[in-house]
Amino acid sequence: MTSPHPEPQRPQLPVGVERFVARLPVHLYRIGLGPLFGRRLLLLIHTGRTSGLTRKTVIEVVESDRTGGSWTVASGFGPRAQWYRNLLHTPQATIQVGRRYYPVTAQPVSPEEGGRLMARYAPRHPLAARWLCRFMGYEVDGSEAGYRRVGESIPFLRLEAAPGSF
């Protein structure tokens, strides 16, 4: 029996000039320009699961809880994204939001909650939601149900701030 919603063809990981452009925000954080991204992007500092080396990547924040200290992020490249795989292996990491650093622990989000997250994200950022879905290989009709269906198949992680750090 086949699934009514087959897994889309995920985008290829960037190489060459595309990889340089994709990594540009990391360099902007490095030179102190991270606050330009506001709360929309964060710098994730995590441990490589094979090398044990410190790795950095910039990720869009899908949703945040400013009072409780949590940030929810999605892996647009699916479960094969290195940062996502690294966090599943070693969930303790550090994030930089603006000028502040927070020790966090990553927790996977259920597919059902992922659907709700995407349904809430789309009306707040309609152009970005349509572009991201297209980039990830999904067709959406713009409806809440359509975004919910897409969100159920995207891997999300919630980054919870360590007690007392927020």
pLDDT digits (tens, 9 = 90+) for 1-13: 444 445 566 666 6
Residue-range definition of the domain harbouring residue 66: 16-161
Strand pairing category for 92-97 and 156-161: unpaired
Domains contained in the chain, number: 1
Q: Is residue 137 part of a domain?
A: yes
CATH number, domain with residue 116: 2.30.110.10
Q: Is residue 21 part of a domain?
A: yes
Tell me how far apart the alpha carbons of residues 77 and 136 are, in angstroms, rounded to a whole number.
7
Contact 105, 162 (CB under 8 A): yes
Helix, strand, coil tally for the chain in percent (to 5):
35, 25, 35
- Among 86, 84, 64, smallest CA distance to 75 is for 84
The pTM assigned to this predicted structure is 0.84
pLDDT in tens, 26-59: 888 888 888 888 889 999 999 999 999 999 999 9
Q: Is residue 153 part of a domain?
A: yes
For residue 72, the cross-strand partners are: 63, 158
* DSSP secondary structure string for all residues of 113-136: HHHHHHHHHHHHSHHHHHHHHHHT
